[in-house]
Structure 1
Amino acid sequence: MKPHTPPQAIQQRAGAVIITGPWPTYSAFRELPERERWVLYGSAKAYRAALEDQGLMMSESYDEFIKRVSAELEI
């Protein structure tokens, strides 16, 4: 059995505001054609990048974000 490790503290950049959520969900779009789902995937990544460019940080890591959005859009 693996010992329990406490969650890692979010590293905050100087002056950055951490957004803990809720983050938009994309599961309602999984019935769209694949091309449109890929467009939404690109839009989600661009939206996150734009927020980070403004100095905001997400509590969800980038890898967790990509895994979640990909699963919600079934791509």
Structure 2
Amino acid sequence: MTTTPNPVQAPQQRAGAMIISGLWPSYAGFRDLPDRDRWVLYGSAKAYREALELQGLVMSESYDEFVRRVTEELEL
């Protein structure tokens, strides 16, 4: 599902931070994996996002939107 960001709700860029716009890679291709493997992928996706945020990158997709999208794509 591709969403168009609402310009009114656009994230505010912090000084020196780069906003990552666009979506993460789709995890839908992994939905046929065993349940445990899909949970591992979910944890990896969250860890990777956190690592990017710790480097100062800001995602245009909110954390809640990210979690909702990835869990739907992985059918968790």
TM-score scaled to structure 1, two decimals? 0.87
Q: Is 1:42 equivalent to 2:43 in the alignment? A: yes
Q: Alpha-carbon deviations, 1:43-71, whole Å to 9, x = none?
A: 00000000001111110000000000000
RMSD (Å) for aligned C-alpha atoms? 1.5
Hey, what's the Cα distance between the residues in 1 that align with 2:10 and 2:37?
Answer: 36
| Identity within the alignment, % | 72
The aligned residue for residue 62 of structure 2 is: 61
Instruction: Flag as ranges the 4+ runs of structure 1 deviating above 3 A.
Output: none
**Letter matched to residue 61 of structure 1:** S
Equivalent positions of 1:1-75 (< 5 A) are 7-75=8-76
Distance 2:7 2:55 in 1: 30
TM-score by length of 2: 0.86
Runs of 5+ consecutive residues of structure 2 not aligned to the other structure: 1-5
